[in-house]
Structure 1
Amino acid sequence: MRRPRRDPSFEPAPAKRFPRRGFMLGSVAGVTLSVFWVARYYNIGAEVGSADLSAPDALAQADAGQILLIDIRRPEEWAATGIAQSAVPIDMRRDDFGAALLAAVNGDRTRPVALICARGVRSARVAKALREAGFEQVRDVPEGMVGSGAGPGWISRGLPVRQP
């Protein structure tokens, strides 16, 4: 069987290529966004405010009854790392989180409360929301259970945990 002859006047169009400049800009943008995401996820730029507590201070104050320490992480996080000693575990995603917290403080919005999560991102956000909701003494543990830019974290410091 014979192959058809190729028409010498016909030249196929060159394959479209992604412009080099666009590729470089896209790559730089992707890397930059990844760096910002990682920095936020690990709370690398965490700033410790005057109302914030280090993990050892939170443990000491919770053991002394000066604050109520609330672990706001998810149940699977509690199972993976344990719950900070003296902490009351209340999943922040619960529909009745506010009611559960009020029950934990016996309805006293003036009782000092400290929040801890994995890296301090969620606890800072929830602390702000609780202050806006009328809780007067809400503190944050910005280094969290696994560490952040604010410190090595509860677990790395070897502070006591209990299993859920």
Structure 2
Amino acid sequence: MSSAVPLPTRRSFLCAAAVLLLPLPALAQEAVLELTPAEAGARAKAGEVTLIDVRTPEEWRETGVAPNATRINLYHPEGPEGFAREVLKRVGGNRNAPIALVCRTGNRSGQAQRILGALGFSRVYNVREGMSGSTSGPGWIARGLPVEACKSC
């Protein structure tokens, strides 16, 4: 019996592509909300933001996850709609709840931010440095911020 995750449907890919290909002027009008890893960690610890790690289970196992982070794989078996449903469930159905998204380098969390924004979520922050760092900065792990082993991934 295979434990492989089903691949997203073609429709899901088309929906995601449509969100990612929004006209640049439309994106420029929207304020891009960002947090540093330290800000995201502190706000999550204080209960001011829901921290969601959008990486894959393999990545969670490899590096661990931030304390207080909810794990919701961006590559949901039901595509972007399934991902958004999981996020909505996690924030109690409140599309205005503050959410901080983190991934490995800030790329997928930025994609997830655009997807959720297009679906009516209004306070979605991107942790641009991610867990492993990027051109935006060294990242959660290199900054020495706490991580916990993911035993149930």
TM-score bracket relative to the smaller structure? 0.7 to 0.9
Q: Distance in 2 between matches of 1:160 and 1:86?
A: 10
Q: Distance in 2 between matches of 1:109 and 1:143?
A: 24
Deviation at 1:69, TM superposition (A): 0.5
Q: Distance in 1 between matches of 2:60 and 2:32?
A: 28
Post-superposition Cα deviations, 1:9-57, rounded to whole Å, max 9, x if no partner, equal xxxxxxxxxxxxxxxxxxxxxxxxxxxxxxxxxxxxxxxx862100000
Indicate whether 1:160 and 2:149 are aligned: no
Q: Distance in 1 between matches of 2:86 and 2:75?
A: 11
Q: Distance in 2 between matches of 1:110 and 1:148?
A: 28
Deviation at 1:129, TM superposition (A): 1.2
Larger radius of gyration: 1
Indicate whether 1:114 and 2:100 are aligned: yes
Indicate whether 1:135 and 2:128 are aligned: no
Post-superposition Cα deviations, 1:100-144, rounded to whole Å, max 9, x if no partner, equal 111100101010001000000111111011111000100000000
TM-score, scaled to structure 2: 0.73
- Aligned with 1:150 (options 128, 133, 136): 136
Deviation at 1:68, TM superposition (A): 0.3
What's 2:91 paired with?
105
TM-score, scaled to structure 1: 0.69
After TM superposition, list the pairs within 5 Å mapping 1:1-164 onto structure 2: 51-94=33-76, 95=78, 96-164=82-150
The sequence identity of aligned pairs, in percent, is 44
RMSD (Å) for aligned C-alpha atoms: 1.1
Deviation at 1:77, TM superposition (A): 0.1
Stretches of structure 2 lacking an aligned partner (at least 5 in a row): 1-30
Q: Distance in 2 between matches of 1:103 and 1:163?
A: 24
Q: Distance in 2 between matches of 1:78 and 1:59?
A: 16
Between structures 1 and 2, the one with greater helix share: 2
My pick for the range that moved more, 84-93 or 69-78, is 84-93
Stretches of structure 1 lacking an aligned partner (at least 5 in a row): 1-48
Q: Distance in 1 between matches of 2:83 and 2:119?
A: 12
Q: How many residues align?
A: 116
Where 1:88 maps in the other structure, the secondary structure is strand
Q: Distance in 2 between matches of 1:119 and 1:85?
A: 18
